[in-house]
Amino acid sequence: MADITTNIQNSINQTGLNTNVKQTGQIFKKQPQPNTKDTISRDKLDLENVDKFINKVMNELSGAKTKNQTNKILQMVKDTKIAPNLANDIQNVAKLIENDESIQNNPALKDLALKLKEFLKPIADIKTATLNEQIKNSGVMLEGNLKEALNPQKLPSSINKLLFDIKNLSNNDLLDKILTLSKNENLNDNDSFLKLKEILKNEETVLLKTLNNSNIKGLLTDVNKLDNISKFLSKFQINIENSGDKVKLYVDKLQDFVSKLDNKINSLNTNEKLNQISGFSSNFKDLKIALKDIQNTLKSLNNIGDEINLVKSFDDLLDGSNSNLQFKLQSAARRLSASLTFIDNNASDASNKLKEIKHISNQLKIASNDIINIEKNNIDVAKIISSDIKSTLLSIQEKSAGLNNSSQINQISEKMLSQIEIHQMVSSIGGGIQTYLPYIWDGVDGGSIAFKQGKRDRYYAQIDLNFKQYGKVNIMVGLIDKKYIDISIATAQKSLKDIIFNEAKELKSSISKLGLIVSNFNLKVLSKNEIAAKFKDFSGLEFGFDKKA
């Protein structure tokens, strides 16, 4: 396999991208200012090249065979800057929309511009809760948040069970009617449940009519009784309260039922044509043998004289496997059901479908009580879509067609979306979360924040900032055992290091007030390249992350 780093670099060269750090964040060759017609055509070409670059990265990743190869690709992607100061670009798009003369005819787009401005918060307003929301809504987590909100596992178990049972219906006609119902977008959840109940009721009426007109209706009911008796015995437990008299009473009732069923079978009129069908004759013969076996088993129980041995023998019958009483009853039920299918297939089919409808109807009653939780999920989805910056940018692209400067708005939006998707790619490959700095900071020309969970209750954050006056700074923070905090800071200029050093005491004091212990605090001056090399993928931990005060 060819060297992966070389392949990626060749791809960058072919697509016109340049990640050379000397270009101070601009990755496009001869990148123009964003207020000329050339900008639009150049940006359009560049964005097409970005798509090629991303596709190339994905192909190389699929071929990576070692962690080292994957890390090289990951670093190459990290170094790619399409919109290095994304917060500034958001401001520009909002201004372009608001200053467009035709905005008055597009109130929906005006609202989207306001959302962009709401998302932009000054760095001075940063708080823990606000930071969480800013990162959550930065676009990097849009698909993940939507997937989580729409995850079936978040639905109540009763509704999951209902959906599962419907999916496994053997009644295709009924399933088609339910699927048609699901396509009706005008129905809310409550109305859908009511319509489903109506569909089940109508289907039940039709099936009952078929069953009631059959001569084998009583025997089909006996199939259900055999199944229910078997299920009851599977849950039956012998205890002190189950005296010999109670066991004998139950055995007598069971024996009476099986005896009457045997008489019905023997008096069943089967014609010569039916008897010639091998499937019917073999099942019918096995059914008689099974009923005879059950009768003999029950008769032997009744012949036991003393109470203790009766209870013990009954318990032994329930504890067996292929020879236990439940198995014999189930076997008889299967043979009877198969035989009745040959006698009246329509009635047998109606009986089976009615059992399905009864089961789903019961589950529907339980699930109906949890409709409110479905509605809550829908609200969550709407909130995610309305507050997420990526979703907002996509909506702006869709709705800005009528504006005078729509091409410029779309190009800047596309660049921002591409940068967000690169952050998403890095997050996915690196196994953490990386995003741009979601704040307005006049003194900073772009930055990124990344979070990752380590082993043994360790959590790490990495902050990369590029100050206009002081250059690059990298901050690594580690939280260990939810108590100890390690901080490592590398600055490109000594002047910034001196400022941080002079404020270090106040910083440590503020951290201590939060109930945390600063176990390590390291501050160094490194060149821009040294910082990039030192802090790859949450490395550089030798600065003190593995030590405690």
CATH code assigned at 516: 3.30.300
Q: How many domains does the chain have?
A: 2
The pLDDT tens digits of the residues spanning 287-326 come to 889 899 889 888 888 888 777 788 788 877 776 555 678 8
Q: Does residue 74 fall inside a structural domain?
A: no
Closest CA to 27 of 50, 48, 10: 50
Q: Does residue 371 fall inside a structural domain?
A: no
Lowest model confidence (mean pLDDT) among 135-139, 251-255, 383-387, 460-464? 383-387
Residue where one domain finishes, among candidates 343, 359, 379: 343
Q: Does residue 535 fall inside a structural domain?
A: yes
The pLDDT tens digits of the residues spanning 401-457 come to 778 888 888 888 888 888 888 888 888 777 778 888 888 888 888 888 888 887 767
Q: Cα separation of 110 and 402, whole Å?
A: 13
Are 19 and 78 within 8 A, CB to CB?
no
Which range marks the domain in which residue 329 is found?
Answer: 215-343
Are 396 and 97 within 8 A, CB to CB?
yes
pLDDT-derived band at 380 (thresholds 50, 70, 90) equals low
Q: Cα separation of 248 and 303, whole Å?
A: 10
Are 314 and 251 within 8 A, CB to CB?
yes
Residue where one domain finishes, among candidates 343, 359, 382: 343
pLDDT-derived band at 493 (thresholds 50, 70, 90) equals very high
Q: Cα separation of 129 and 516, whole Å?
A: 18
Mean model confidence pLDDT for the chain: 77
Residue where one domain finishes, among candidates 312, 343, 374: 343
The pLDDT tens digits of the residues spanning 23-53 come to 333 322 233 344 434 444 444 445 555 666 6
Q: Does residue 485 fall inside a structural domain?
A: yes
- 131-146 mean pLDDT: 79
Closest CA to 40 of 396, 409, 393: 409
pLDDT-derived band at 364 (thresholds 50, 70, 90) equals very high
Q: Does residue 390 fall inside a structural domain?
A: no
Which of 141-145, 260-264, 537-541 is predicted most confidently? Answer: 260-264
Adjacent-strand bridge partners of 462: 450, 476
pTM above 0.85, yes or no: no
pLDDT higher than 90, residue 502 = yes
Q: Does residue 296 fall inside a structural domain?
A: yes
Q: Does residue 334 fall inside a structural domain?
A: yes
Percent pLDDT > 90 in the chain is: 13
Q: Does residue 268 fall inside a structural domain?
A: yes
Are 501 and 507 within 8 A, CB to CB?
no
Closest CA to 399 of 146, 42, 102, 136: 102
Are 318 and 324 within 8 A, CB to CB?
yes
SS3 annotation, 368-416: HCCHHHHHHHHHHHHHHHHHCHHHHHHHHHHHCCCCCCHHHHHHHHHHH
What pLDDT score was predicted for residue 8?
35
What is the number of alpha carbons within 13 Å of residue 471 lying toward its C-beta?
Answer: 17
